[in-house]
Amino acid sequence: AESDRIVDEALADPAGLDTLAGVESRRGEGHFSLRWILVHLSEEYARPNGHADLLREAGDGQTGG
């Protein structure tokens, strides 16, 4: 709920998806934008779902969902 509230506040800001994170990257790459964070979170959530699909398809021989 706290994360949702923070994202909602950031999106309400005029900078929107270009709002920069308050904490700098651990690798010294600067501050990531909300857009970058959300895209990479989506990629991370999609990856295990793709792996689960591959395992299911290997078991039942069917593709698609």
Per-residue pLDDT of 4-62, as tens digits, reads 898 898 889 898 899 888 888 888 889 999 899 889 888 887 777 777 777 777 777 77
pLDDT of residue 26: 86
Contacts of 16 (CB under 8 A, 6+ apart): 10, 34
Rounded CA-CA distance 38/33 in Å is: 9
- Residue 64: the pLDDT is 62
Contact between 6 and 21 under an 8 Å Cβ cutoff? The reply is no
| 34 and 19 Cβ atoms separated by less than 8 Å | yes
